[in-house]
Structures are given as C-alpha cells and as structure tokens.
Amino acid sequence: MMAPATTSSWCSTPTPTPPIGITSTSTSVPGSPAIDPAHSPLQKGHPMTLRQPLTTEQVQSMICRVAETCPTTAAGIERVGLPETRAQTQGIGTFLRVICGQQLSVKAAASIWARVEAHFEGDFAPMRLLDLEPEGWRKLGLSGQKTRYIYGLANALVEGSFRPDELPGMEDAEALAHITALKGFGTWSAEIYLLFAEGRSDMFPADDLAVQKGYQMLFGLDDKPTPKVLRELTSHWAPHRGPMAMFLWHYYGAATLDG
C-alpha cells in the first residue's frame, strides 16, 4: 500500500468543508449572486437550501483531501500551488458567457465576453438578446452558429421551456438534462455552469482539452486521455472532481509556462 501523501505547507491547515455546493439561506458567500426571493427555488417547493459557488477555501480544502491519498497530486501542489475559485453568478449572463467560450482559448473567449458585456452593460434580458441582429453579434465576435445558440437560449427563456431558476433544486442528472436540452449546450457547457455557478463539486468537464492535458502532464502520460478514459481514471476523486478539474487547469497553465 502506498504511504499517504505529504502535502507540506500548502495543505497544513485543513478547514471543515460545508455540504458541497450548498449553503443555508442565512449564509452569505462573497461573490455569490443575489437571488430575488420572488424567483427563488424556495418559493417552488424546493428544500430550504440554495446552491452557491464554491469559495477558494472550499476548493483548496477539497483538493488537499484528494492529495492526502494521492502522492502525485501532493507533488503537483508542491510544484504549482493551489488554484483559486472561478465562481460565476447564476443565470442568463453565465450561460451567455459559456457560449462565448465554447471551443476558444481562454484569452479569445475573455476578449469576446468583454465586448458582449460592454455592449449590453450587464443587462442580458432575453428580448435584448433577440433584438440584436446577427450582424451585431458578428461585430462582437460571435459566429453565426453561436448567434443561433444565443437566440435559442433567449427564446427558451421567453417561452418558459428553459427554467434556470429551478436548476438549484434539481439533482445533478436532472440539471444536466435540463441544460443539455438547449441547442448548443452539450455536456461540457452544462458541467461548466453547474460547477462554477452552482458549486456542484463533483462536476468534472472531462471533454475540456486543458483538463485532459493537465492530467497527462501531472501523471506523466505519453498521450492525453480521452474523455471516457479520463472519467474512469478520476472516478475515485469523487465527490471532489470539480475542484480537481480546477487544479488540472491550474497545473496545465503553470506547467506550460514553465516549459
């Protein structure tokens, strides 16, 4: 049996971790979205809890838990340190941002999102999205296909077939199915939203190229694993696979910069 990993100063002061992705309604999490009680899942028969983005403290604590029994992860932490959270607000703005980031580098996605956010000044009401002509979206940097995805998202919100306010009360599988029913939102898009906006800590976007490359570099593999193989290789990280995906992103970036 392999000896437990030593995580040194990075994980020397473990902190208690609250229930994953959930805080009581009386708990305020820095950077978490304000939720209008009139549209809260609490008004629709859901349990008296609300999902909130993971804090940096929670993310780092969960990664350290994995490192306790994984020497390779512990060694990776010694090399690059621990990542901070990537919390996002719940709602249409983050879904729009996910579309902007599909199949693009982080830098390119950030540039497009900055233009979109500036154009709408933070007001992403569905009708405003529909009122912008395809040429307007093109000038913001969106392809015709992504523009169609945005129109589909906006129409689904107007029609009521997509109900993001109800997502926090759904189980993981139900929430994934509800999001992926939208055209243009595959498993990766749904997992990204549920991980970063709702703090569902076992969401693991195995389709993400940087996550695959991060795993390859961390474990010294000759080739990057396929999404299916990667899910199998990381199944024992449950229920902390989301924070470990954040660590793999962090490790991939640091390893690339280090050469």
- Convert the pLDDT of each residue in 68-77 to its tens digit: 999 999 999 9
Chain centroid to Cα 152, Å, comes to 21
Residues of the chain under the 70 pLDDT cut: 1-10, 12-49, 255-259
The share of the chain scoring above pLDDT 90, in percent, equals 75
Q: CA-to-CA distance for 259 and 254, rounded, in angstroms?
A: 9
Domain 53-86+201-259 -> CATH class = mainly alpha
pLDDT of residue 106: 80
Chain centroid to Cα 57, Å, comes to 16
pLDDT of residue 5: 42
CB 76 within 8 Å of CB 86: no
pLDDT of residue 21: 41
- 49: region left, alpha or beta (phi > 0 left; psi from -120 to 50 alpha): beta
pLDDT of residue 251: 97
CB 240 within 8 Å of CB 201: yes
pLDDT of residue 10: 64
For 169, which DSSP code? Answer: G
Question: 92-196: which CATH topology?
Answer: Endonuclease III; domain 1 (1.10.340)
pTM to 2 decimal places? 0.80
Burial readout 218-238 (b: 16 or more C-beta within 10 A, e: otherwise): beeeeebbebeebeeebeebe
Span(s) in the chain for CATH 1.10.1670.40: 53-86+201-259
Angle at which helix 187-196 crosses helix 92-101, to 10 degrees, equals 130
pLDDT of residue 12: 59
